[in-house]
Amino acid sequence: MRTLKVSAKGWIKGILFNVATRCGMWKFFTRKVKPPKILMYHRLADSKIIPGISSANFEAHLQHLIKYYQVVPVEEIIAGANSKGEYANKVALTFDDGYVDFYEKAWPLLRKYNVPATVYITTEFVEQKQWMWPDKVRVMLNATSLTKVNIPHVGTLHLSEENFEKNWHCISDHCLTLQESERDSFLQDLIVLLDVTISDFPISDFSALTWQQLHEMEKEGLDIGSHTVTHPILTRIDDKQLKNELLESKRVIESHIATEIHGICYPNGMPNDVSDAVTKVAKECGYQYGLIAYTDNVDKNNKLKTNRIPAAENTAAFAFSLLA
Ligand SMILES: [Zn+2]
């Protein structure tokens, strides 16, 4: 029932968006001064096993943004977070993790429309030393030839194509409750349970940007920030590890690029993942701002907990989310 209601709402929004943009009325909706917004993207992907926004939809997002908004660097929004008027109707684009599709798909479109963006990279991922663990789960689920599996603490999963996303969520949600070492051993057990093999380092669709690609894009105007060293949940690691994740990622990025790193984007970025202790260490490490991934109950004066809105795939939903 809920799905029906949600899809009916989406359908109505779609019609309203199409009619309003075609007859030039959308300008009316965006006319009223809106607070600045920071959009959160992860991947551009056109494959069923990779979560992300299609290149075509991303291009539609950019066309919409340059028509109705001022797209500015994220630091311009952070700097004016408390101001009104001058900073209204501004939008900034951010990309998390540092997957290679940013270079292959997003950056050419961002350049085409002359739109600034910031990418937040996980340094061990860029050094090609680790998988992003949720991808490992995707690859395993895609590779298994089993039709059913019983996973301790998760339950029995029916491994059909139509259950792919649901199964991935069941396993990933469980992983998010585990400490890092427990999660690694759970994923090792999962390899055996699903009867698959998996390479030590990410396969092509799941690999990271290289330093060379980052250099090239930086010269062309890309802004780069930190997304830690190994992408842990920062509230689940000890003080020493926390400092290392924040400081070492900054140091490594700065050793590769020409400018100082000002921003950190916290892994997962939900309320339980970013404590006051985390933002305190981020400040001590020299970060001027930190990005989270939720919008409720946010202190607008705390730049180390700056909120973002996820970029919806569907262009109408995307356009409506910017009106809030
Ligand atoms: Zn991330």
**pLDDT tens string 135-190:** 999 999 999 999 999 999 999 999 999 999 999 999 999 998 898 889 999 999 99
Q: How far is the CA of 97 from the centre of ligand 1 (A)?
A: 5
pLDDT(209) > 50? yes
Q: How far is the CA of 188 from the centre of ligand 1 (A)?
A: 21
pLDDT for residue 299: 83
Q: Which residues contact 5 (CB under 8 A, 6 or more apart)?
A: none
Q: How far is the CA of 125 from the centre of ligand 1 (A)?
A: 11
Q: Does one domain contain both 109 and 137?
A: no
1 pLDDT tier (thresholds 50, 70, 90): very low
Q: How far is the CA of 260 from the centre of ligand 1 (A)?
A: 21
Supply the CATH number for residue 65's domain: 3.20.20.370
Strand 37-41, strand 309-310: pairing? parallel
Q: Which residues contact 31 (CB under 8 A, 6 or more apart)?
A: none
pLDDT(220) > 50? yes
Q: How far is the CA of 8 from the centre of ligand 1 (A)?
A: 31
Buried b (16+ CB within 10 A) or exposed e, 137-158: bbbbbeebeeeebebeebeebe
Q: Does one domain contain both 289 and 212?
A: yes
Count of domains for the chain: 2
Specify whether the CB–CB gap between 290 and 304 falls below 8 A: yes
| Mean pLDDT, range 11-23, rounded to an integer | 77
3-state secondary structure of 274: coil
Residue 15 in any domain: the answer is no
Domain extent, residue 276, equals 32-128+207-321
Q: Does one domain contain both 106 and 233?
A: yes
Q: How far is the CA of 99 from the centre of ligand 1 (A)?
A: 10
Residue 201 in any domain: the answer is no
pLDDT for residue 143: 94
Q: Which of 152, 171, 193 is the last residue of a domain?
A: 193
| Mean pLDDT, range 29-44, rounded to an integer | 85
Q: How far is the CA of 310 from the centre of ligand 1 (A)?
A: 13
Residue 238 in any domain: the answer is yes
Q: How far is the CA of 23 from the centre of ligand 1 (A)?
A: 39
Q: Does one domain contain both 225 and 256?
A: yes
Residue 226 in any domain: the answer is yes
Identify the residue with better confidence: 234 or 295: 234
pLDDT for residue 60: 96
pLDDT for residue 3: 46
DSSP 204: G
**What is the pLDDT of the chain when averaged over all its residues?**
90
Q: How far is the CA of 113 from the centre of ligand 1 (A)?
A: 26
Specify whether the CB–CB gap between 194 and 143 falls below 8 A: yes
Q: How far is the CA of 235 from the centre of ligand 1 (A)?
A: 15
Identify the residue with better confidence: 46 or 105: 105
Long-range contacts of 258-261 (CB under 8 A, 24+ apart): 258/218, 259/218, 259/224, 261/224, 261/225, 261/226, 261/287
pLDDT for residue 232: 93
237, 259, 261: which is closest to 121 by C-alpha? 261
Is the pTM for the entire model greater than 0.95?
Answer: no
Q: Can you spell out the DSSP letters for 100-118? A: THIIIIIHHHHHHTT---E
Element spanning 157, H or E: strand 155-158
* 160-175 pLDDT per residue, tens: 999 999 999 999 999 9
Q: How far is the CA of 156 from the centre of ligand 1 (A)?
A: 28
Phi, psi of 221 (to 5 degrees): 115, 5
Residue 7 in any domain: the answer is no
Specify whether the CB–CB gap between 237 and 93 falls below 8 A: no
Q: Does one domain contain both 315 and 228?
A: yes
Percent of the chain at pLDDT > 70 equals 94
**Three-point CA angle 311, 315, 320, nearest 5°:** 75
CA–CA separation, 308 vs 294, rounded Å?
A: 6
